[in-house]
Amino acid sequence: MVLCTVDDVLAVLRLSSTDPDRDVIESCTVAASELIVAALDRLDDDPLPDPAPEHVHRFAVTVSIRLYRAKDAPFGVVDSWSMDGVGPVRLPKDPLYGIEYACAPTIRQHGVG
């Protein structure tokens, strides 16, 4: 089950649908979906609804972007532009960092719910 589409990620990154990295982003969306489904720890007889809840979809886009941007941050730090200027931004080592807590209401097997 893929929780977000390549076009969702491209829209957030403000890239065109013909971007040369489209295949890389597609593999990131698949990997992000697998990571999130594993973290949600759903039983086979209680899968996520299709389509996935909105918060799970947003997290899938976020994790996909983290996986995609990891290639630009060999030491975990990427330069970033902001209104204040250019500054370093540290990417989390775990692409699911902070997301598992927000997904807690969706966890079933060993979590709450």
Mean residue pLDDT of the chain comes to 79
pTM for this entry:
0.75
Task: For residue 51, give the nearest of 92, 5, 82 by alpha carbon.
Answer: 5
Given this model, what pLDDT does residue 54 score?
A: 87
Task: For residue 56, give the nearest of 28, 96, 94, 24 by alpha carbon.
Answer: 96
Question: 4: which 2 tokens?
Answer: 């977000």
Q: Which run of H or of E encompasses 87?
A: strand 85-90
pLDDT confidence bin for 111, thresholds 50/70/90: very low
Averaged pLDDT for residues 74-83: 65
